[in-house]
Amino acid sequence: MNRIDELFNKKAGNILSVYFTAGYPALDSTVEIIRELASEGTDMIEIGVPFSDPVADGPVIQKSNDTALKKGMSLRLLFDQLKDIRKETDIPLLLMSYINPVLRFGIEKFCKKCEETGIDGVILPDLTPEIYTASYLGLFKEHNIYNVLLISKGTSAARIREIDGLSRIFIYMVSSSSTTGIKRNFSADQKEYFLKVKKMNLRNPALIGFGISDNETYLQACKYGAGAIIGSAFIKALSEGEGGKNTVRDFIKKIR
């Protein structure tokens, strides 16, 4: 059984998934950050593969991508850094990347390396459901890798149900039409969208991402979905803190 399955089987709500960029703030900090997030009670971790043109990401994540790339982070190096990660933790791990680095690496090789390394799922925002279904679904199933699909406020009800049918574990519900970033609250319009999706009684649970930055927005996301995905706020904490255990502990304590 995939570790993400195990998580959702034992925990139906209040799931906290944290995103950070591999190779940031230091080239060799990836494993340490995973270790500390796991020890502080994070439920799931998304590891960002730095890319030169992260179009869905706001300035905080864009800057972390640029820094990590300049330090020498690559998909190949990331897999090397993670080769023994399953000796350290059983927390569900996902890679978040744009499709270009994956295609350059070789998608069959990518899926195989994910399986060998212990990666449970991937998020590829610019891989359309149509291309995924036609070209890669069988490959992902062969290597037991979940491909997490995204919906947004502009996604029609019919499209949401189509994505729900293709999804194997959870749906990434993007909270707004903007790029990632730190928000202080959700608007009435956003809450209406969350409620609309909740009332659809989808087969898969939804985790809400984009704009989760503190306890208030985390609890709001948990009210309308199975939990929250936090990225920019955590990367900002890494950039401002001293790093290591204290930074991670203080951030998770603030969220929960």
Active site residues: 46, 57
Full DSSP string of 193-245: HHHHHHHT--SS-EEEESS--SHHHHHHHHHHSSEEEE-HHHHHHHHHS--HH
- Please count the other Cβ atoms lying within 10 Å of the Cβ belonging to residue 131: 13
Q: How far is CA 46 from CA 113, 153, 184, 185, 229, in A?
A: 16, 22, 22, 23, 9
Chain position carrying tokens 């209040």 = 14
What's the CA gap between 238 and 176, in Å, rounded? 24
Chain position carrying tokens 């080769």 = 83
Q: Are 65 and 52 in contact (CB under 8 A)?
A: yes
Distant-in-sequence, close-in-space partners of 116: CB < 8 Å, separation ≥ 6: none
Q: Are 45 and 37 in contact (CB under 8 A)?
A: yes
State the chain's maximal CA–CA distance in angstroms.
Answer: 47
Residues found in the chain: 256
